Amino acid sequence: MLAPNAPAPYDLAFAALPWFTAQTRAAKGNTSMCGFIGIFGPDGTDVAGEVYEGLLAVQHRGQDAAGIITFTDSFHVKKGLGLVLEIFNENNMPRLRGNLGVGHVRYPTVGGGRKDDAQPFHLTFPIGIAMAHNGNVTNYAELLEKHFKRSGTRLNSSCDVEVILFAFANALQARLVPPHRPTAEDVFAAVQHVYSEVKGAYSVVATIPDVGMVAFRDPYGIKPCVFGQKTTAEGRWYACASESVVLDVNGYERSFDLDAGEAVFVGMDRKLVRKKLSDKPHRPCVFELVYFARPDSFLDDVSVYKTRGRFGEALAQQWIASGAPMPDSVIPIPDSSRDAALAMAMELGVPYREGLVKNRYIGRTFIMPSHKVRRTSIRAQAEPDPARVRRQGRAARRRFDRAREHGAQDRADGARRGCQEGLPGVVLAAVDRAVPVRDRHADEA
Q: Is the peptide bond before 369 cis (omega within 30 degrees of 0)?
A: no
Find the farthest-apart pair of alpha carbons in the chain and give their distance in angstroms, rounded: 78
Q: Omega before 334 cis (within 30°)?
A: yes
CA distance linking residue 172 with residue 265, whole number of Å: 14
Question: Are the C-beta atoms of residues 292 and 242 closer than 8 Å to each other?
Answer: no
Given the residues 34, 159, 240, 419, the one annotated as active site: 34
Helix axes of 161-174 and 184-197: crossing angle, nearest 10 degrees: 130
Per-position DSSP letters for 148-166, written without gaps between them = IITT----SSS-THHHHHH
For 137, phi then psi, to 5°, come to -85, 115
Which string of DSSP letters, residue by residue, matches 34-62?
Answer: -EEEEEEPPTT---HHHHHHHHHHTGGG-
Q: Is 419 a catalytic residue?
A: no
Query: Residue 399: left if φ>0, alpha if ψ -120 to 50, beta else—which one?
Result: alpha
> How many CA atoms, within 13 angstroms, populate the side-chain half-sphere of residue 384?
12
With beta carbons less than 8 A apart as the criterion, state whether 184 and 192 touch: no
Q: What are phi and psi of 253, to 5 degrees?
A: -90, 125
What CA–CA distances, in Å, run from 366 to 46, 147, 415? 34, 32, 14
CA distance 368 to 113: 10
**Burial letters 273-293, b for 16+ CB under 10 A, else e:** bebebbeeebbbbbbbbbbbb
Residues 213 and 270: their CA atoms lie apart, in Å, by 10
The size of the chain, in residues, is 445
Alpha carbon of residue 349 to chain centroid: 34
Task: Report the catalytic residues.
Answer: 34
